[in-house]
């Protein structure tokens, strides 16, 4: 069974998230998602709209997602890949090259981001509508 892993905040789930989850799952049989905790988001300089628990609940409802684990730090990926017997690591290509150190432990693939959507864009568009 080919196991795939990807990581992210997955706040305000949108088609860009669904596209990468769908494609990551299609490259294997089982998809683990490392979901950024609220504390880790602070480290990433991100403030999610939804709490970790809510973002986890939403992710677990997505047909492509088989398991959600907490992403608490930048340096847990090697341990996660080993512990979960991961064969393939997938991220959007805004991270191109950033996780190549994992190539010693599993396949690493960066997929093109979905153009025209992001959580930030959603926030800004909503703000402009309300205050336009
Ligand atoms: N993504 C995408 N297309 C978009 C928006 C996001 O393909 N239009 C992808 C990102 O490239 C990432 C995943 O969706 O692979 C999750 O995106 P975020 O929730 O923004 O995650 P990020 O803040 O990039 O955190 O350790 C890795 C980090 O946790 C990644």
pLDDT for res 130:
85
Q: Is 17 in the pocket of ligand 1 (CB under 6 A)?
A: yes
d(CA 111, CA 24): 9
Per-residue pLDDT tens over the stretch 31-50: 999 999 999 999 999 999 99
d(CA 94, CA 49): 22
Q: Is 113 in the pocket of ligand 1 (CB under 6 A)?
A: yes
Q: How far is the CA of 132 from the centre of ligand 1 (A)?
A: 28
Is residue 59 within 8 Å of residue 70, measured between CB atoms?
no
Q: Is 21 in the pocket of ligand 1 (CB under 6 A)?
A: no
Instruction: Tell me 114's DSSP state.
Output: P
Q: How far is the CA of 32 from the centre of ligand 1 (A)?
A: 14
Burial category of 100 from C-beta neighbours within 10 Å (exposed 0-12, middle 13-18, buried 19 and up): exposed
pLDDT for res 37:
98
Contacts of 22 (CB under 8 A, 6+ apart): 64
105-116 CB burial, b ≥16 within 10 A, e <16: bbebebbebbee
Tell me the pTM.
0.97
d(CA 44, CA 52): 14
Please give the mean pLDDT across all residues of the chain: 97
């Amino acid at each position: 069974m080919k196991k795939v892993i990807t990581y992210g905040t997955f706040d305000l789930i949108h088609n860009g998230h669904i596209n990468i989850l769908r494609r990551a799952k299609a490259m294997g049989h089982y998809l683990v998602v490392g979901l950024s905790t609220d504390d880790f988001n602070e480290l990433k300089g991100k403030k999610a709209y939804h709490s970790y628990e809510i973002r986890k609940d939403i992710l677990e409802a997505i047909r492509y997602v088989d398991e959600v684990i907490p992403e608490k730090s930048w340096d847990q990926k090697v341990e996660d890949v080993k512990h979960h017997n991961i064969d393939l690591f997938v991220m959007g290509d805004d991270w191109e090259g950033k996780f190549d150190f994992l190539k010693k432990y599993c396949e690493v693939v960066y997929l093109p981001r979905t153009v025209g959507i992001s959580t930030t864009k959603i926030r800004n568009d909503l703000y402009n509508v309300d205050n336009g």
